[in-house]
Chain A
């Protein structure tokens, strides 16, 4: 697959070069690095911390809901907890998640480049993320806010208690980090592909990262100006969104969801890409319908910009607008279904192995289908008027974001872990964790569909006693889920020290990243590779030596 094109000035025989992990061992060499692989590691440590903070808030939410009157005495505390959970999980875990960690690491490797187009901006993005995260955490722990992650005006601008302005500032700052990452990815994919790496030879993961980046770049600035106006209104008590002095609260919702609906697809598109990478490798088959999967990512990103109004069916927006938004929302199901059917087509007659990444990917398909189909209930205008702001909505988007995206994140983490760390994780424990996660997830969130259908509203500290059984089931599931999330934290860290050393290509997978050593050296490739064929042309199982 590779021949000489350009000789790198750093060229030295591969065995003499240190891996990126040991190319400088001081703290400074990590904190001032411009190597995309090290920045990916920095990001991975950071978002793991945020994941467990956000997860702790979720655990306390489920703890509170065990009894109808609420285990936590104060409703105000409960409001601050779900705000903390939402803000941290959305902006400091899900939005960055796969792109800034796995994406940052493998994107240049996948296109045969030595780094991203703008390495310093990549490092800057991490610092902005840390700064924004620190400000948000400070705001959440010293006072907190009770607005929910959506900051609806005029509640957020006039009545809400707590550090709304500071919290909004943290999110505003971290938005620049998203923009920097998206900009870097788009430009790198356009400009740094190795000779022969045509668009249709690119890994599907890159198509999904590209689509995600388009949303980062085009939607985040609108959130930035919206949050700025919220802060302005709250500080100066003027009425951009406050109807008492001529403002328009619906305008806030339009501007907020113009970002936040596309951002929902930021929180799933990378996961769709990961699953498209994992399935062909563990089914030993060419990816079925490559072009359809590639373009369906782009389609989801584009359609995602035209459906924001489906969050506002009961806001008082025009009925005709609601009908149009409802119809457009159905369109999102088409590219999503294309992906699912193509994955099934890939699995069909494949030689399937159930390694941990594959278990996560298969779990993803099931949960994504559940989440996607219940999304159609909510896109239906009449049904949504009934289900709006109930636990049905909570269950729906957790099926997509936790069942989907977090599963995909773990799939990606296990799949590329040997490449990133140079070590193999313990396979059987990892499979057990994957199964436990699937069980715990369904037990947590399936009861919430029923609760929502029965009419339990979201964001309430207490509930009528007849909902208790389902709530206890959900909380029990959450404890299983928590254990399943702690397992990878333990065994992945363990594998760094005691894991078996990983070969360059442990999965016998195709693709440029598997042609570099595990872990790769700083410059990725000694010579720029020349790509001569596509990524997914696995030999037929009968002739494959990779039965393993």
Chain B
């Protein structure tokens, strides 16, 4: 402990293991706050849908299914690749970690590009809830509400993903400086938790956006 001071050890911790577990605990707790953040949104969404099911379903049928599905595959793959990178650094292969991070960033960027293209389609079809709206009649109110939740939820998710891309770039920079090894790679693990969370949010949003309306 005291005889050998590790470079990353802060002075309130007994050893690096103590510090690493604490950092991971902190990230899990942060993710709990994120769950409640998105949870509040999804609760509002589900309550609103309960009252206006027909409108929500009509709105849901206007979504671009192929982009959502492609993005689901892209994002799950990115998490898989990142986890592989974590495995590599545990085996003391920082170069492989950098490669995995780069692929993850690439996949994340593809997701964002597709998302932007999808928003472009949505807007050009007058699906933004404010202003002139594509749908009319008794289902219009519910459909507008669906698209309100759609834009808030996908916007927040994209924001989280963009933050994730920034953090991944930082991991690459640090890894190339030789900061991580099999003995110490806490940030790689913590960032992995965050990236998986961004992935999971999309796994939950995907059926709510693209499937529920089409199922009825």
Contacts and interface: CB of A to CB of B under 8 A. Distances in A.
Interface of A: 6-10, 108, 113-119, 121, 179, 183-184, 186-187, 190-192, 217-222, 224-226, 228-229, 232-233, 236-240, 245-248, 251, 255, 258, 523
Given A117-B26, A246-B55, A218 B36 contact: yes
B125 to A, nearest CB: 17
Contacts of A220: 33
A217 B44 contact: no
B51 interface: yes
A221 B152 contact: no
A523 B144 contact: no
Nearest to A120: B10
Contact of B25 (A191, A219, A221): A191
Interface string B19-58: 0011101100110111011111101100110011001000
B37 A224 contact: yes
A187 B29 contact: yes
B183 interface: no
B18 interface: yes
A248 B12 contact: no
B5 interface: yes
Contact of B33 (A108, A113, A217, A229): A217
B47 to A, nearest CB: 6
Chain A interface SS verdict (over half): helix
B1 A255 contact: no
A187 B25 contact: yes
B108 interface: no
Contacts of B39: 221-222
A221 B37 contact: yes
A114 to B, nearest CB: 4
Contacts, number: 123
A163 to B, nearest CB: 20
B26 A183 contact: yes
B130 A246 contact: no
A233 to B, nearest CB: 8
Contacts of B142: 246
Interface of B: 1-2, 5, 10-14, 18, 21-23, 25-26, 29-30, 32-34, 36-41, 43-44, 47-48, 51-52, 55, 128-130, 141-142, 144-145, 148-149, 152, 156
B29 A238 contact: no
17 contacts: A9-B5, A116-B12, A119-B10, A187-B22, A187-B26, A192-B13, A217-B33, A222-B40, A228-B156, A238-B129, A238-B130, A240-B148, A246-B52, A247-B48, A248-B47, A251-B44, A251-B48
A218 to B, nearest CB: 6
B44 A255 contact: yes
A498 to B, nearest CB: 35
Nearest to B145: A246
Contacts of A237: 130
B55 to A, nearest CB: 7
Nearest to A247: B145
Contacts of B36: 218-219, 221-222
Given A225-B40, A232-B148, A238-B144, 16 more contacts: A6-B14, A10-B11, A115-B11, A121-B26, A187-B22, A187-B26, A187-B29, A191-B18, A191-B21, A219-B36, A220-B33, A221-B33, A221-B39, A222-B40, A224-B37, A246-B145
A255 B98 CA distance: 42
A108 B11 CA distance: 13
Contacts of A228: 152, 156
A133 B38 CA distance: 25
B176 to A, nearest CB: 23
Contact of B141 (A183, A187, A236, A239): A239
Contacts of B1: 6
A114 B12 contact: yes
B210 to A, nearest CB: 21
B22 A248 contact: no
A226 B52 CA distance: 20
A236 B26 contact: no
B152 A232 contact: yes
B145 A217 contact: no
Contact of B144 (A221, A239, A248): A239
A7 B52 contact: no
Nearest to B130: A236
A197 B1 CA distance: 20
Q: Which residue among B10, B37, B44 has the maximum number of chain A CB atoms within 10 Å of its CB?
A: B44
A370 to B, nearest CB: 34
A39 to B, nearest CB: 14
Nearest to B34: A221
A304 B69 CA distance: 40
A115 B12 contact: yes
B144 A245 contact: yes
Contact of B2 (A6, A190, A238): A6
A115 B12 CA distance: 6
A240 B48 contact: yes
B201 to A, nearest CB: 13
B48 A248 contact: yes
Given A183-B33, A255-B40, A7 B51 contact: no
B32 to A, nearest CB: 6
A219 to B, nearest CB: 8
A240 B145 contact: yes
* Most chain A CB within a 10 A radius of its CB, from B14, B30, B129: B129
The 4 residue pairs across chains A and B that have the minimum distance between CB atoms: A246-B141, A221-B37, A225-B40, A221-B36
B11 A523 contact: yes
Nearest to B36: A221
Contacts of A192: 12-13, 22
A380 B20 CA distance: 49
Nearest to A237: B130
A445 to B, nearest CB: 34
A117 B30 CA distance: 14
B2 to A, nearest CB: 4
A353 to B, nearest CB: 35
A206 B80 CA distance: 40
B145 A251 contact: no
Contacts of B29: 183, 186-187, 217
Nearest to B47: A251
A245 B34 CA distance: 29
Given A183-B30, A238-B144, A248-B48, A226 B40 contact: yes
A208 B43 CA distance: 29
